[in-house]
Structure 1
Amino acid sequence: MQSNRQERRQTDMENGHHTQSSGSEKHTSIHDCAQSGDIEGFQKLIQDDPSLLNSKTAIKLETPLHLSASNNRTDIVKFLLEWKGDDKLDLEVKNMYGETPLHVAAKNGCDEAAKLLLAHGALVEAKTKYGVTPLMLSVCYATRAEDCLIVETLLEKNADCDATDDENMTPIDHISKIQESGKLLDLLLSHQVKQRKERLDEACKKQKERMDALEKELSDIVGLDELKRQLRKWAKGILLNERRKAIGLKIVTAGRLPHMAFLGNPGTGKTMVARILGRLLHSVGILQTDKVKEVQRTDLIGKYIGQTGPKTRKKIKEAEGGILFVDEAYRLIPEERSGKDYGLEALEEIMSCMDNGKVLVIFAGYNEAMQRVISSNEGFSRRVTNIFNFKDLSCEELANILHIKMKNQSKDSLLYGFKLHSSCTVDAIAELIKRETMKTQRMKMNGGLVDIMLSNAKGNLDLRLSDDCSDREELLTITLEDFEAAMESVPECFA
């Protein structure tokens, strides 16, 4: 059984009050102490019951930190911020209006309390439920009190002069709404100019870094000039929008992702380009991640009724934020349909996800066969607005790809660390390919021919060297002789 005193204490706590004895018995809440600045009474209450640290008032949901900050009770604010107990102070706790302690300090001109909060990491860009920042509230206070001190404190922490609330008003707009204030307006305008210059400089630096990275990635793509031009256009447009935002311009960005179709024979680089695209579009902000989920018919189609939809939706979910790469997409719509086929159902599931902005879809396959996919769904042409033709690679392009692959071997590759002899120029390799292969072979293999050449040439190097060879250069250098021998092993089935 609780004593009457304990029952009274429990009731007071439930109402946001705590009992304190000082000489004669009296009732004082933790919030009263915070508001009045009674540091001794406050410390005793907190030490007796640390759970009161973040306790809220019944109606406005204000904590002791709200009340002490809004009344500039710096002793109590400092005590709370330096509290080391097991109960942790919530520095960003919000009242019924969504205001943090820094908000209420700003709107009441409590400069010293604001400085303490900022020094302990309070978020200078925190927003209320109406999108209002501490700087906006400090501006309102400054116009009333004709005192800019709290505004200056927030600007020293680089509070954003271009931030907007839910009514799309900036801190400067809040000055105009209440009254003109020359000194305050000049203060904000000078900081706005400085901030915009800093943001513009940073945007320019990032733009150069991203465009340099883009060009480096594009240098590994042989041919495909139209695709490269489109990528540069997307990237530059997004990066220039960052510049526009940096100087305070209002920019509306399109929400629809640029879905694509890659048409071409095997080995023309469709999958490789999709992976590069994932990295590029992520780096410039079009995609949330750089992941590319590669799927084929068997990954999407179920054997029985009711299996295809869930199976396809699962793959779409796995690709969210990045790219869903549907390889050999024409297999979803067989040329000759016999019995029940669920490919069209899978295609319709993919189509249905293409308007939500969560995943970018790339369909890939042979040019002629892909026409079945394009004509099978009336929404395809509306959604897939970027169609790129991957042409068969010329002998010179194949030779360039061979050089690029040798330069970019990963550490887990069998060719990592190997190099080409000086005789293996692009022209020499191109001439060898032209002399030793037929056009039909190159059309059916494209980049696959390069992989065979590299693998066979390395094998010939191993066969050519003596068992006791210890010369580092010889062990790691592939010669033109090795490639000539490699061409003898190109599969005849591709002729």
Structure 2
Amino acid sequence: MKQTNKEGRIHVVLNPKEKPAQAVDWPDHPEHGLLRSIEQEMESLIGLTGLKVLVRELYASAYINKKRMEAGLETKGQMLHMLFTGNPGTGKTTAARLIASMFKKLGLLEKGQFIEAERADLVGEYIGHTAQKTRDLVKKALGGVLFIDEAYSLARGGEKDFGKEAIDTLVKQMEDHQNGFILILAGYPREMAHFLSMNPGLQSRFPLIHHFPDYTTEELLQIADVIAGEKKYEIDTVGRPLLRSIIEQEKRISGLRFANGRNIRTLIEKAARRQALRLMAQSVHSKKELKMLKGEDFQLSP
């Protein structure tokens, strides 16, 4: 059984007896039960291969650091601030929530709360207001994860914009509260590169950078099936190749701005509206007709 979250990321409900492929070679030890449960949860996500590797590395690092401390070896806390790059609908928020949950269970975060913010939550209306708003937000996130999506928007106004003040304050807070919270920034790759250039001390504070690639056409077709199924629709054999063509066309037209799962949800909803118009011409509707999205319900842009 498959489900999608609000980002359009596919979830597959696994048979509980099935083991995630990546967990097979780990020692069968009770201490690794947390990793196994996390990996099983991640195996329910289509794609994200690189993220699965990163999560395993983070778990292993925390586990071995704990063993080093037990052995009397000096272990300094790692900076775990992260930078996520990728187009919309590629799973960045999903990943941030998963990592926050894992770190809490590992004891790396005192509270483990997940605070999601955007430009308006940090940038004020007058000089000094932005710094205070940003400090208050960090205070709220202490002991947990602060996730800022579209973080590049803080740099869009240049040197004179209050967003620059928010960036500088974030850098200062990261210094003042070392290992006190985890900051995860996310956004488009090109814009995030410009964002990092706004403060010379910013990039060095993000040792973990991960890129979320776009879905392939095949993965997007899987998403279409899942979204249609959630709405009690089916796509017929004529509609499927047409939908594939539409997806490929939208990817070419949108380029770097393609919204992945969000685009697919829009396509299915448009097809459902066209189906409704088509069926209005009939006085009797069978259950099969009410469920079926046909080729004529999908339409290529001119």
- The answer for the alignment partner of 1:73 in structure 2 is none
Corresponding letter in the other structure for 1:431: R
Cα displacement (A) at 1:423? 6.0
Aligned-partner Cα distance in 2 for 1:404–1:282: 31
Distance 2:197 2:168 in 1: 13
Q: Given the alignment, which residue of 261, 278, 289 partners 2:100?
A: 278
Equivalent residue, structure 2, for 1:129: none
Report the Cα distance in structure 1 between the residues aligned to 2:84 and 2:130, rounded to whole angstroms.
Answer: 24
Point out the structure with max Rg over C-alpha: 1
| 2:244 aligned partner | 431
Are positions 1:449 and 2:263 aligned together?
yes
2:129 partner letter: Q
Count of matched residue positions in the alignment of Structure 1 and Structure 2? 268
Q: Deviations over 1:404-441 (max 9, x none)?
A: 6678xxxxxxx4xx4564968xx969735546635223
Q: Alignment partner for residue 161 of structure 2, among 335, 341, 354?
A: 341
Give the aligned residue type for 1:396: E
Q: Tell me if 1:326 matches 2:140.
A: no
The structural deviation recorded for 1:293 is 1.8
Q: TM-score, normalised by structure 2?
A: 0.71
User: 1:312, CA displacement in angstroms?
Assistant: 0.9
Give, in angstroms, the shift of residue 345 of structure 1.
1.4
Other structure's SS at 2:209 match: strand
Task: Please list, as runs of the form range in 1=range in 2, the aligned pairs for 1:253-332 lying within 5 A after superposition.
Answer: 253-332=75-154
CA gap 1:207/1:306 in 2 versus in 1, 3 angstroms: same
Counterpart CA distance in 2 for 1:276 and 1:361 is: 14
User: How far is the alpha carbon of 1:347 from its aligned partner?
Assistant: 0.8
Question: 2:210 is paired with a residue of what secondary structure?
Answer: strand
Deviation at 1:318, TM superposition (A): 2.1
Q: Is the 8 A contact 2:243 2:298 kept in 1?
A: no
Decide which of 211, 220, 238 is 2:35's aligned counterpart: 211
- Paired letter, 1:441: S
The AA in structure 2 aligned to 1:351 is V
* 1:227 and 2:51 are equivalent in the alignment: yes
How far apart are the structure 1 equivalents of 2:82 and 2:154?
17
- Report how far residue 234 of structure 1 moved: 1.1
* Aligned twin of 1:62: none
Q: Does the 8 Å contact 1:258/1:386 carry over to 2?
A: yes
Deviations 1:361-410 (A, max 9, x none): 11112222222221221221221111122223321232344456678xxx
Change (3 A) 1:406 1:233: farther
What does residue 22 of structure 1 align with?
Answer: none
Distance 1:378 1:438, change over 3 A: closer
Q: Distance in 1 between matches of 2:180 and 2:31?
A: 25
Please list, as runs of the form range in 1=range in 2, the aligned pairs for 1:126-137 lying within 5 A after superposition.
none
Q: Report the TM-score, using the length of structure 1 for normalisation.
A: 0.46
| Local SS of the residue matching 1:351 | helix
SS at match of 1:453: helix
Residue type at the aligned position of 2:59 = A
Structure 1 residues 321 and 401, CA, compared in 2 at 3 Å: closer, same or farther? farther
Unaligned runs of 5+ in 2: 1-27
Distance in structure 2 (CA, Å) of the matches to 1:430 and 1:389: 27
Q: Distance in 2 between matches of 1:378 and 1:269?
A: 29
The 5 Å alignment of 1:86-105 reads none
Per the alignment, do residues 236 and 307 of structure 1 end up closer, same or farther by CA in structure 2, a change over 3 Å counting? same
CA distance in structure 1 between the aligned counterparts of 2:143 and 2:228, rounded to whole angstroms = 32
Q: Give secondary structure in 2 for the equivalent of 1:234.
A: helix
1:142-198 CA-partner distances (Å, limit 9, x unpaired) = xxxxxxxxxxxxxxxxxxxxxxxxxxxxxxxxxxxxxxxxxxxxxxxxxxxxxxxxx
Contact 2:79 2:207 in 1 (8 A): no
Aligned match of 1:380 in 193, 202, 216? 202
CA contact (8 A) 2:79 2:205 kept: no
Q: Describe the SS at the equivalent of 2:161.
A: coil
In structure 2, the CA distance between the partners of 1:285 and 1:462, relative to structure 1 (3 Å rule), is farther
1:108-127 to 2 correspondences below 5 Å: none
Distance change >3 Å, CA 435–CA 315, structure 1 → 2: closer
Aligned-pair CA distance for 1:258: 1.2
Residue in structure 1 matched with residue 25 of structure 2 by the alignment: none
C-alpha deviation, 1:357, in angstroms: 1.5
- Unpaired runs of 5+ residues, structure 1, are 1-202, 408-414
